[in-house]
Amino acid sequence: MKKKLVSILLVAAMSVTLLAGCGSNGSSTKKVKDNSTATKGEIVWWGWTPGSPANEEYVKAFNKEYPDIKVTWKQTTVDDYDATIKPALANGKGVDAFQVSPGSANGGVQVFGGQAIDLTPAVKEALGDDYKDKINPDSITTMTVNGKLKALGVGFAYAGSVWINQDLFDKYNVKVPTNMDEWVAACKTFKSHGINGFVQGAGQGAFNMDTFHAICDNVEPGLFQKATKGKADWTDKSFVKALQLWRELFTNGVMQKGALGIQQYPEANNLFMSQKSAMIMMGSWYTYNTLPANMKAAMESASSTAKPFTMIPVNFPDIAGTGNVGSMFGDLDYSTAISATSKNIKAATTFATWLGASKSGQQMIANALNVVPSLKGVTPNWDEVKLVNPAKQNEPVKEYYENAMKTVDNSRFAYINADMNQAMMDVLSGVAGGSISPKDGAAQLKSAQEESN
């Protein structure tokens, strides 16, 4: 009850703050003068993904069509985004366009939507009155707050698969694992050569949730999604089994030593990119690294001077022994919102609609292999997309992309609210460390779900 009371008070306080900030009572805020036009102005675009050099390439492509709109990309880390952008939006300076996401992830539209304009008129102008038929429905529904479109989706991200360094597997003649025994054996072989078999930054909760979701779909497909919607009980034996398997990954040698003490970004990512680990749990956004220039930049960030290597996606191993493999789950990864206090609203709106609703902008998004485009019918131009090792990567990457596009009704974070998000991260950390039993962990998830409703 105390937790609920605190939550209610915080929401109330936030509501007052947002209403004041948006000038809902009319006289308390001055109307901001828009100094831009639809084709001219200077904007600052805030966000956390996908990062350099991709975002600068997006801006470069945008400027080929709109040379008189200067866009400055301002990047933060995933974990720092909320804390950094809150004061920037509050003081009304230095933010014109900014990234938001659905559900409980960072940059939640439910939190920041109150400080963004309604993009419905702009999207109608760009795509026509039937715009809802031309865009993935979740780009609209998950970004609509109180009947207003507070941001426009750019693309979707999917998780559920493991990425491997095929070159290391070939070098040491290791079989790609398809079940728990093979996974343990592969990790043991790599360890004998001084390499982590599998790496996970288990100190960063969101990625633990991805691995747990993959395990749940392996145990009983669709049950995780039902539970997040309140249509299944978290104490179901399948969830207890999934938590037991999650725990086993830490006790049987699959998870590297000290996994709970590092983050997925940058530590685990750097270990994979520097080829000190052969496998990592990442999603469709990681496809971006199959492009030579992007992989080179990622490897340099990981202090590696080696040549780009062959990485491919594989199914999450059948550790439950059910035969249920190949599951993917995802949400709208990020969207572009426009600050209501921006002095360049028209120019910023042009940028947002180009990025999320134009064929040229969405084709560029598709070819970057970072997210699956929001605009229907846009797919990567595989004749233009050149991978590090086309002979070994082309077919697996194409198949992976196609499987992601076929995913329906299996969300990543969209139906997990903030309280449930924290509870799940706490339970997974506790079970992994041995301080919470799988059965007790399942009970805690059920209790958190009931308290948050």
pLDDT at 380: 94
Using an 8 Å Cβ cutoff, are 327 and 217 in contact? yes
pLDDT at 15: 37
Domain(s) of CATH 3.40.190.10: residues in the chain: 32-157+332-373, 161-327+394-452
**Terminal alpha carbon distance of the chain:** 12
> Considering the entire predicted model, what is its pTM?
0.84
- What 3-state class would DSSP assign to 84? helix
Using an 8 Å Cβ cutoff, are 324 and 221 in contact? yes
In this structure, which amino acid lies at residue 218?
Answer: N
- What 3-state class would DSSP assign to 258? coil
pLDDT at 104: 60
Convert the pLDDT of each residue in 297-351 to its tens digit: 999 999 999 999 999 999 999 999 999 999 999 999 999 999 999 999 999 999 9
CATH fold for domain 32-157+332-373 = D-Maltodextrin-Binding Protein; domain 2 (3.40.190)
Residue 405 Cα distances to 136, 187, 289, 326, 423, angstroms: 11, 31, 19, 13, 30
Average pLDDT for runs of 10 along the chain of length 453: 37 36 37 89 95 89 98 92 94 94 80 95 97 93 94 96 98 98 98 98 95 98 96 98 98 97 96 98 95 94 96 98 97 95 97 97 94 94 94 96 90 88 96 98 96 82
CATH superfamily for domain 161-327+394-452: Periplasmic binding protein-like II (3.40.190.10)
The DSSP string of 205-216 is HHHHHHHHHHHH
Convert the pLDDT of each residue in 430-440 to its tens digit: 999 999 999 99
Q: Pairing between strand 69-75 and 41-47?
A: parallel
